[in-house]
Structure formats: structure tokens, C-alpha cells
Structure 1
Amino acid sequence: MFSKKIDRFKLLLIAELIMALLLFFTCFQKETKVFTIFGDDMGGQMTETDGYETFSSETFELLPGVYQVRMEVSETEDQTVFAQVRWEQAPFKAVRNNGAAVLPGGTSQKFNVYVLDKVQTAYVYCRFSGSDPGILRSLNVYRTSMGNRMLLFILLVLFGLLDFMVIFRKRILSGKIIMKKQIVFWGLTAGIMISFFPYLTDYFSWGGDIDYHFGRIAFLEASLQQKMQFPVRMQGTWLYGHGYATSLFYGDLFLYFPACLMLLGFSIMTAYKMFVFAVTALGAWIAYHCFYRCVKEEYAALAGSLLYVLAPYRIFNFYNRGATGEYLAMTFLPLICCGMYLLYTEDINSLSYNKHKWYIVLGMSAILQSHLITSEMTAVLMALGCALCWRKTFRRRTFFQLLETVGIVLLVNMWFWLPLLYMIGIDTYQFQTVIQEEMVNGTELAGMVQLLPNKGSAQTGMWQCEPIQIGASALFLFLVCLLWRIKGHRMGAACRFFAVLSVVTVALSTKYFPWNFIRKLPLIGYFAGSLQFPFRWMAPAAALTALFCAFFMMEVRERGGARIKILAGISVLLAIMSAVYHVNDCAFQAPPLYLYNAENMGTVGVVNGEWLLAGTDKGELHDHGPVAEEGLLWQGYEKKGTDITIFVENTTAGIRYLELPLMGYKGYKVKEYDGIGQNCPDIAEERGDHNDLRIAIPAGYNGKIKVSWDGFALFHAAEAVSIASIVIILSRSWWTWRRKVKFESKLSNID
């Protein structure tokens, strides 16, 4: 019977492989043109609507799949052309797209159209800001193979889930997965689905900084398509093509996942939702694993991880603020808590003691690649923990493990932090201005005790207050803990430690802490100002509070007997009720937004523009071509991301300057191709209008040049160090594992 089940599973795998291969070969089908229209053919068919000239084409048929619309437009200084594929029936049902516009100065645009059902009455809608439709040279609709690529990816994910459930069921039937672990699995799954509820829709809500993070994903995907740099450091689509150094200063490592989903063909909205689900699921399992390693009891670890996954501030970051970097960092905070706890509580003479530092290495590396501000707070709390437990910190083995941890984190992540610090050191940016401002948005005490968190709008106290709080469940357990202490029960050292840190971090997040006084102090003030908002301390507070709750439940279980079931039941029920109310409010109280085309969301959503060059006013930036001084001629201008190719001729006897539509960050290089002249063009020290990049063209120069952002040799050296460090770590781990396997094999042979 056992062999038959194995055979059936193998047959299932073979069937999945055949289906995947059949679909794989359809992913490379040639594009087919299904519709074409020219601006010159629109004469006499235009109508005026709300001050614009509009045109609707004849209808045509679209089969289910993914199509791409490509527009070619004559360059103008004052006209905009917008195009969208529409259906005569309900919008965003069978035909899904937002359309896209070619702005003044642009010459081309493309966007995807997602067709879910056979449509016989699709048409192209065009809108012109001027009266000349002839500027639209052509508009073509192509059927692509992106739909097949998306279907293949979805099929592989479903196959993976099916195979997992088959193996999971088999292990249950064989007795390898006991009831406790089954409850943990389904409990975490329920927590994940509750947390993800607002995105179980065909729309999403626009919150906080979401436009900036959507831009990071979409323009990262554009940079990968353009094949300019890898890793991407300068995204060339931002700010009307001027570029923005967001990837240099804000870790993009985890955003490659949704960017690659967009490369497969998924819309920006769908790719982001899949990313959020992956982060939610990963966060739940990391929290459970780390809490279990600390408390060593399944139900306490499950309760703690559910309190963390459903924490109001975590959900607030997902759906209210759209704070992608911060909720990513929160995913990995339990790794830091676990690693530090094990280093300070486990037997230093055990063979496995050296392994505990890897929790901190993984956690700190992931947080650094997610959110710099959370990295700063985490480092401060780790230093505080080391100081409070100074006797154990300076144990020889513990101290060297901590030093190794710092060294490994620095080496593995050198490719990110060294270019960041180097660029900060050689130029000035807007973030220095932000740091000098007063710190606002500390947590209100009244808002922290709000039992039913909602979407909120500001720190108003109670009514419509943003849900920046530890949550009703954690608050309940803290009150029970106080009663427990009043009755004379003692608490373990770990429980007390995490309770104190929880209270400290919550206090730091409030408006009552003297942050603006601290901000005026030397060195410390610079760190305090970089946090921007005190309520950010609620992120580590949520992790520490959840771990405290897990430890406290263990305390009650050991001394309170059956009362642990009542306590755990009430706390989990409060967490679920609070979270359900919160996500329901996020899903249905915010206006629904249907966003399928990143091309439709603009390129200026850089929030405060912390990484703009100092003095840049993003409101004055616009799409434009090169600007040359008198006597300097240019032609053959081509721009692709951060790369520009142009033919220039200096007809004067002196140096002339050419301004290019690129933000003048350090690291751009000029490459000579076939120029005639004694000297090569070079980057000018002084920047142009709006900090545009200026090129100094020497007298008599005549030829084609290419300008591109290459960074510095130091960046490539840092990348080499990081790669070498990772290779050495993996090689050493593999060698250690092989040696362990051989040793166990010898022992079994002796037996």
C-alpha cells in the first residue's frame, strides 16, 4: 500500500511536469498585431469633451490574454496624448487597463491590457490636449505571450501547494506530525489570511507612501528591462526621466521579487499583492520559529506569533501607510530577538552555541536591506541589551560571537552600505534638511488604548486615531501580568527583561518623550532626527511585546495549570477580533483603486525626496530634451534609462556646455565614440538648471558621445567582497555538513 501511494505521488509529479512543459513552450510565441490606427486617419472623427479633443476607434475583438499597446508620437512641447483600450460594457471587468499618456517632450509609450474574457466590442479611446491628432504617428495593439508566462507561474505555485498538502497529509497519517503541530499550522494559516484580507479583492486602497514604493518596484522592473546596471543603483524612470538614486540609499533586494513578477507580465497591483502575501506568510513562520526556539512550547509560540502577525501597527504599515520598507523590516525583527536571547541564555560550552549568531546575521542583514531607520533602532536596542546584560556580554565566547556577528553582517552587506556612505560623503542631499526639522507624530496615550483599531487619519487621541498601538490582546496580557505580580507571583528573568524593553520602546514611541530636546544634542541628535517620527519605535515594541506575551503564557502554564487555556484563549480571541475589525475597515472604508499600468501613476511620487540633490525642487522638473549653449549643435539624441547617446559639435573656440535631462548625481561618466578633437568631453563640476547634469564639450569637438551612470570602482570592489564572503560562508557550511554526515555514518557503521 505504501509503495502504491509513492507511485501515485510520482505519477502526480510526472503529470505536473508534462503540463508545465507544454505550457512552457507556449511562453515564447511570436507577437501578433491585432489592431492599428494612425493619427492622420482621425480627422473629422474628433469630438470635444471637457476641453479635450477625443477619439474612439471602431470596435474589434479581443480573446483572453495579455495585450500590449505601443504608441509612437511626434515630439511636441505642449501637447499630451492619452490612450486606453476600453469595452462598451463595465470598466475593469473583462478588459483591464488604465491607459497611459505621452507627455510633452516624449515620443513613445507602451502599456499592457489584461483581457479576462472574449470581448467583441473593444475599442481604443484617445484624448489630445491639442487639436492636431496627426502627432500620433501610430498606435498598435499586439497580442503577447505574457499571459502564458503568468499562467505558468500560477500553475507552478498551485502545483507546489498541492504537493505540499499531499506530503503534509501523508506525514499526518504516518504520525510524524502530531496534533499540536497541526494546530500550529492551521492557526498560522488563519492568521496569515486574516492579515491579508484587505487584498483578497480585485482592487486595493491607496495609503501613505504606497505611490513611492510602487514607483520603486515599477522603475526597478524598467531598469531590469533596460539592462543598464546590476545590481540596480540608479533608476532612470523617476522624475520625468531625470532619475532618482533610491536604490543607492534604500535597499531594493526584496523588491526584485515583485519586479520580476512584473517582468513575467503581472500588473503592478497584482505583483504587489503577491509580494505582500509572501511577506505576510514569511513573517508568520519566522515569528513562530523564533518564538518557539525561545519558549520551547508550541502553543505559547503560536499565541505570540499570532499577536505579532495581527499587531495593529503591523497591519497599519501594510494597508494604512503602505510603508513597504518598515513592514519588511518587521518581518525579520523576531530573528534578532531569538538570536540575542539564545546567545545570552544557552550553555556557552554546547556544540551548537556558535550557530545562534546566524539568527542575528540573517535578521540584521535583512533589516538593513529593508529599512535603514529600523536598522538604526535595532542596533540601539541590541546595544542596550548588551549593556543591561554586561556580565554575560563580556564572557569570552559570547563577546567573540557578537564580534563575529558584526563582522559578518558588515562583510556580507558591504555591497550596499559602502556605496551608500560613500555617496553621502561626496555630496549633499535633501535628507539633511529633513533631519533638521522637529520630530512630530508621537503616539497619543489615548490612542494606544483604543480597543478596536481602524484605518484612522491622524494622531487624534481616540476618534479616527491611527492604530499606532500594541493592541488589545497585548494590553490585556500586560494587565494580567500586573495582577500576577500583585498577588506575589515571581516572573522569570526573560519575561521581566522583555516586559521592560516593551515598556521602554512603547514610551519612546510617544509624543511625551523629549525627542526635540534630544534632537539638539550633538551626534545623538543626528540619530534622533533621522527617525523622523517617534511612532516608528512601535515596530520593535510590537516584536518585543509579542515575545513577552509568549514568555508570560509559559509562566502561567508552569504555575497556573488549567488557567493557561483561558488566558491564551482570551488573548488570541482579542487579537483576532481586533484584527478582523481593523482589516475590514481597511478593505471597505477606503476608496477602491484599480491600478494595472504603472505607466499611469506618474514619476514624481518621491514623498519628501530625501535623496534628491540639495536645492532641487521636484515641482520644477519636467520632460525635456538636451539644452545646449550657443555655438553647440546636437542631433541623434537617444535616451534609455540613465544612458544617453548624442552627436555633438562645438563650433566655437571655447568650451561649451550641454545640459542633459539627468539628475546630476556623482558617478556619471562620458564615453567618447568617434569624436574629432584634442580633448574628450567630461562631466562639468557645476550642475545646470534644477541640478541637471552638465557636459563640458571642448572647443572643436565633433562626434558621438555616450553618457551613463557607472558608479565608482569602490562599488564593484564592495560587491566582490560581499560575493566572496557569501561564497566562503556557504562553502564552510557545506563542508561542516559533509563532515557531520561522514561522522554520523561512521558511528552507524560501528553500531
Structure 2
Amino acid sequence: MFHANRMEELYRNIQQGSFIPRISTATFNQVGSGINFFYPWLLLYPWVLLRLVTNNPISAFYLYIILETFVTFSISYYGMHKYSGSKRRALIFSLLYTFANYRLFLVFHQNVLAESIAYTFLPLVLLGFYEVFFRDKKKWPLLAIGMSLLLYSHMLTTALTAFFLLITLLIFWRNVVEKGARMLSAIKAVGLSILLTAFYLFPFIEQTLGNHLRASWTGFNFIQQPMQVIESSINNEPDHTVGFLLILTVLLGFTYLRNAPVLEKYSYFAGLILVVLTTSLFPWGGFLNTPLANLQFPFRLNGLATVMLCIYLSFIINNMIIKLKVKYQVTTIVSLLAVIAITFGLMLTTSHQIINQRLSANVPMLNKRPTPENYYPAKNGAYYNLTSENWHNMFYYYGHNGAFDYFPVAVKGKINDAVVNHQAIVDGKKVYFANRLTSKPNQLEYNLTGIKAGANVKLPVLYYKNDFVKIGNEHFEKPTVTKVDTIQVRVPKHDKQIIIKYRNSVLDNSTLVVSLVSWLGVLIIYIGNITRKKKIHETVFKTN
């Protein structure tokens, strides 16, 4: 429901000619939530385009998942092929990673769209990191582009990945040659990534510093016992674990370490440690009052564990295929078909378990609009079935899983309930304002006809930096803000139309230009390099 609100907001914005959602006016309870400053929206554009083509949000969603899966497979293949030089290993890795249990859990079981998109680009980030510090330092743009795409997807996953890469660098620092030159390449990558993400990153910082907001909740939930993780993985359950193949890699992978190169050994041990960190063996309770509490779910480390274990397992399987061919004349095609059959077989078992869980839970259809008084999705663990016909019902009231993230800190408890219920305060009295509200992209309009001139009205609209208000015939001005960071107006004598609008700041506009120019520059340089290599190849071919 959280990501559906984000997608719907972008869709309605684009429908009306606005391509950048700032405040949410059609979704997230229509109170001007600033969620779009804190969750990247760029990679949701393909879903909008698919919906415009199909005119069906559900079909668009599944087509989007197909597209995401294809891109994940392609990037995984590219990353491993560049790293290992083996097309066979690249195919094995991309199969293992794309259809890994944890990724299927995010995509199909939890519909955690932002995090699942982030793992699409993780192999590219790892390849860029490897090139910068261990191979061709001139390929630092790979790291910059990978981290940028990661940040476009999910901020927390980006932070986790950056922390993991830092630890990896410290472990291998003594093995890094040309340290100064490689650090310079890394600094270039960071600089380019900042430019490419400036249109999101700097407004994020501006709103964080310019408002007193409550972020998402902190803490550690869903920590399992080690045996629970092993059992769930062995059963290949659609759960927040690494799944059957990768838990076998964790348990038995040490038997192949003697034949493995250093980086493959590191992949195994990194994956093993990350899996252990998701369990109760790690004393998470001691970190409740630290920044680590922003992790929320230690099982999120399974994303990094998955990619590292897939790297190691792809090495093992690739070597096994070579040995089978040499010793038993088993062709590569037969071996790869066996890998594909096993991978898809496990994927199907996970899919069937998800379907059976949904059927046995008697998940209801969302055929009526949820209300604060009867928030019936929560009665079924916040699960419900959607169709294209009932899709719009979820946007009238939304009260769980991040619905109130990044609200002003003062908007809590009864005040929070009043705001999302569209209760205004008119001269100290509560008045229901939902029927007076009209939403447009980045703009809320209230018709105050019937309310006496001069009345003091506290609107159920959240205030964020760069919000402006137009009262009647007056010009847009900075609004009067209440003690709880909502917007307050005085009713005019004539033209009682009130407009609250987010207006792009100089920072919003300038950083958008910076990012567009930076991406254009990257594209021009890339095309130039391709053209130059092609000319050199043609020249060499003609000479020979």
C-alpha cells in the first residue's frame, strides 16, 4: 500500500503535466505529505508509462516486475561477465541472483518495491568497486553510476552497501596497489554520484534541515533463532531468509574453500557472517540507541548476503561443470539446463507457497474504502486483494506501514488522527473539511464558502519548507504555521478559495539542471568512447 500510494501520486502528477512529485496531494491521506522528498521516485516512471499504455494499474505492476526482473538478470550477467570473463559463470550467477529467495520474498511476498529495485543494481556497484580498487581504476564511472542508481531506489540500502564496501576496503587495504591513484578515482566516483543524484539528494537535505520531522520507526524486529533461519531456508519458504541453495552454500561451502581464489573466499565468509548477523546470535538489543536501529529489520542484511553467496556458489557450480565435462563428457548445455531446472523449480516452490498462504488466509478484496473507524485491512495483517476496479479504494484513507512517515514531529496522537481525518479547526471548533478539498499536483485547494470572513482556520495540511499559500485574490506568500506545523489561514471577505502549493526552490531547480547535465555528459562520453573504439577496431581490421 505504501509504494502503491507513491506510484499513484506520480501517475496522477504526470497525467496532469507535472513530472516531479514534491508533496503528496492525491494520496497519503491528501494532507500534503512530503514523503517524496525522502523516497526516490525516478525509477517509478516505467510503471507510470506501463499504466498509461495498459490503462490497468495491476497489469502495469506485473509488467513492471517483469521489466525489473529482466534488468536484474541483465545487470547481473554483465557484472559477473566483466568480473570473471566467463559467459557460463555469468549465466549461472545471474540465474542464482535474479531468482534468489530473498529477492522473491521482497518482490512477490512483501511487495517492498524500493528495496527490491535497489538489489537490481547491487552487482553493478560491486563491479565498480572492484574495478576502482583492484583492477582498472579508470572505470570509476561504473561505481558512480551504480551507487547513483542504488540511491534512486532506496536510501537505506545505499547506506548499508556503502558501509559494507568500506569494511571490505579496510580488510583488503594492504592488498590495494597505487593507493593514492585509486583513492582519487574513488573520490571522482563519489563526486560524479553526487552530481547524478543532486536533484534528489539536496532537496532531501533541505527538507530534513528545514523541518522538524519524524522519520520512520527505529528498532530491530523479526530476529530469528539460527535454527529457524536454517529450517526456513531448507524448506525454501517465501520468508526473509536466503533460501535452499544459499543456506546449503553457507553450511557446506567451506568444503570448497581450498580451491577458491581470495575474493571468492571473501564472498563466502562475508555471506556467512551476514547471515549470522540476521539471527539472535548477534546482540542487536545492545544497539537500540545507536544509528544501527534505523535498520529496523536485521534480515535486510540478507540482500548483501545473497549477492555474496551467489558469487561464491556461481564459482563452485562453474568449476563443477568444467570437471563434469572433462571427466564424464557432460556437455556444458546439459549442465546449464540442470542449473536452470533447479533454479526455476525452487522458484516455483516459493511461488506456490506464497499463493497457498494467500488462499488459506482468506485475504479480503479491497471492495470498500477503509476509514479510520473501520480500517479493515489491518484486521487481516494489512493484507487485501486488489483489482483494477478496487485499486482506487486504497487512496481515501491509509493508516499503516509508513503512512505517517516524515510527518512533522508535533503531528502525533489525536492531532495526527484529526489531520488525516481532514478535521480543520475553525475558531476553536472542529469542522470536517474533506468535502471542501480539491487536489492537484503539488497543490491542495480548499473552498471556504459558508465560513464567516475573518475566521481563523487551522487547515489539516502539513507544512514543509517551500510551501506557499494563496488566500483569495492575494498573491502566494509564506503561510502562517501553527505550533504543530500545520497551515493556518484567515478567511477573506471575498473569493474564499485557499490554495496551498509547493513551489520549487532555487535549490530544487538548480540541482535538477545539474543532474540532467551530468547524465547528458555521461551519455555523450560513453557514446564517444564507443565510437572511438569502433574506429580503432575498423582501422586495425583494414590494416590487417
TM range (shorter): 0.7 to 0.9
Pick aligned residue for 1:506 from 267, 271, 275? 275
Q: Is the 8 A contact 2:95 2:340 kept in 1?
A: yes
Alpha-carbon distance between aligned partners in 2 of 1:621 and 1:310, rounded to the nearest angstrom: 42
- Give the root-mean-square deviation of aligned CA atoms: 3.3
Distance across 2 between alignment mates of 1:714 and 1:586:
45
1:550 equivalenced with 2:351 (yes/no): no
Which of 731, 735, 743 is equivalent to 2:524?
731
Q: Which residue of 2 aligns with 1:202?
A: none
Aligned partner of 2:226: which letter? L
Structure of greater relative contact order (alpha carbons < 8 Å, 6+ residues apart): 2
- Letter of the 2:387 counterpart: L
Q: How does 1:400-411 map onto structure 2 within 5 Å?
A: 400-411=184-195
1:85 is aligned to none
TM-score by length of 2: 0.82
User: Post-superposition shift, 1:335?
Assistant: 1.0
Partner of 1:447: 228
- Write the letter of the residue equivalent to 2:254: L
Give the deviation of 1:508 after TM superposition.
2.2
Quick one: distance in 1 between partners of 2:210 and 2:533?
49
1:373 to 138, 145, 156: 156
Q: Structure 1, unaligned stretches of length 5 or more?
A: 1-210, 456-466
Are residue 212 (structure 1) and residue 8 (structure 2) matched?
Answer: no
Residues 255-404 of structure 1 aligned to structure 2 (within 5 Å): 255-346=44-135, 348=136, 353-355=137-139, 357-391=140-174, 392=176, 395-404=179-188
* In 2, Cα distance between equivalents of 1:719 and 1:588: 46
In the other structure, the counterpart of 1:715 is 508
Q: Which residue of structure 2 aligns with residue 535 of structure 1?
A: 299
Structure 1 residues 405, 329: CA separation in 2 closer, same or farther (over 3 Å shift)?
same
Partner of residue 37, structure 2: 248
Contact 1:447 1:469 (C-alpha < 8 Å) held by counterparts: no
The Cα of 1:629 is off from its aligned counterpart by 3.6
Q: How far apart, in 1, do the equivalents of 2:252 and 2:496 lie? A: 78
Deviation at residue 359 of structure 1 after TM alignment: 3.0
Give 1:734's aligned amino acid. Answer: I
Structure 2: distance between partners of 1:302 and 1:555: 14
Contact kept? 1:666, 1:711, Cα under 8 Å:
no
For 1:623 and 1:744, locate their aligned partners in 2 and report how far apart those are by CA, in whole Å.
67
State the alpha-carbon separation in 1 of the partners of residues 341 and 541 from structure 2.
49
Q: Cα offset for 1:701?
A: 8.7
Mapped partners of 2:466, 2:436: distance in 1: 21
Q: Which residue of structure 2 lines up, in the alignment, with residue 475 of structure 1?
A: 247
> Relative to structure 1, is the Cα distance of residues 720 and 363 closer, same or farther in structure 2, using a 3 angstrom cutoff?
same
How far is the alpha carbon of 1:297 from its aligned partner? Answer: 2.0
Counterparts in 2 of 1:516 and 1:215: CA distance versus 1, 3 Å: same
| Correspondences of 1:27-426 after superposition (within 5 Å) | 211-227=1-17, 229-346=18-135, 348=136, 353-355=137-139, 357-391=140-174, 392=176, 395-426=179-210
Match for residue 445 of structure 2? 644
Q: Secondary structure at the match of 2:153?
A: coil
Q: CA deviation at 1:556?
A: 5.1
Q: Pick closer, same or farther for the CA change 1:548–1:568 going to 2, 3 Å.
A: farther
How far did residue 694 of structure 1 move? Answer: 1.4
| C-alpha separation in 1, matches of 2:171 and 2:506 | 42
Greater strand proportion: 1
Structure 1 pair 431/594, CA: closer, same or farther in 2 (3 Å)?
closer
Three-state SS of the structure 1 residue aligned to 2:55 is coil
- Counterpart position of 1:22: none
- Could you tell me which runs of 5 or more consecutive residues in structure 2 were left unpaired when the two chains were aligned: 364-384
TM, length-normalised to structure 1: 0.61
How far is 1:558 from its partner?
A: 6.7
Aligned-pair CA distance for 1:368: 0.8
Over the matched positions of the two proteins, sequence identity in percent amounts to 18
Partner of 1:8: none
- 1:170-218 per-residue CA deviation (whole Å, 9 max, x = no partner) reads xxxxxxxxxxxxxxxxxxxxxxxxxxxxxxxxxxxxxxxxx11112112
**8 Å CA contact 1:306, 1:572 repeated in 2:** yes
Task: Determine if contact 1:307/1:546 at 8 Å carries over to the other structure.
Answer: yes
Q: Which amino acid aligns with 1:692?
A: T
Once the two structures are TM-superposed, the CA of residue 625 in structure 1 deviates from its matched residue by 7.8
How far did 1:235 drift?
Answer: 1.7
**CA pair 240-338 structure 1, distance change in 2 beyond 3 A:** closer
Alpha-carbon spacing, 1:624–1:448, altered in 2? closer, same or farther (3 Å): closer
1:580 partnered with 2:352: no
Rounded Cα–Cα distance in structure 2 between residues aligned with 1:266 and 1:680: 36
1:211-238, CA deviations, whole angstroms, 9 ceiling, x for partnerless residues?
11112112221222233x4321212122
Change (3 A) 1:742 1:576: closer
Question: What is the number of equivalent residue pairs in this alignment?
Answer: 500
* Residues 248 and 416, structure 1, Cα contact 8 Å, conserved in 2: yes
Does structure 2 conserve the Cα–Cα contact (< 8 Å) formed by 1:447 and 1:468? Answer: no
The secondary structure found in structure 1 opposite 2:120 is helix
| Cross-structure match for 2:211 | 427
Select the residue among 486, 499, 508 that pairs with 1:692. 486
After superposition, where does 1:510-521 map in structure 2 within 5 Å?
510-520=279-289
- Structure having the higher helix fraction is 2
Conserved? CA contact 1:646–1:704, under 8 Å: yes
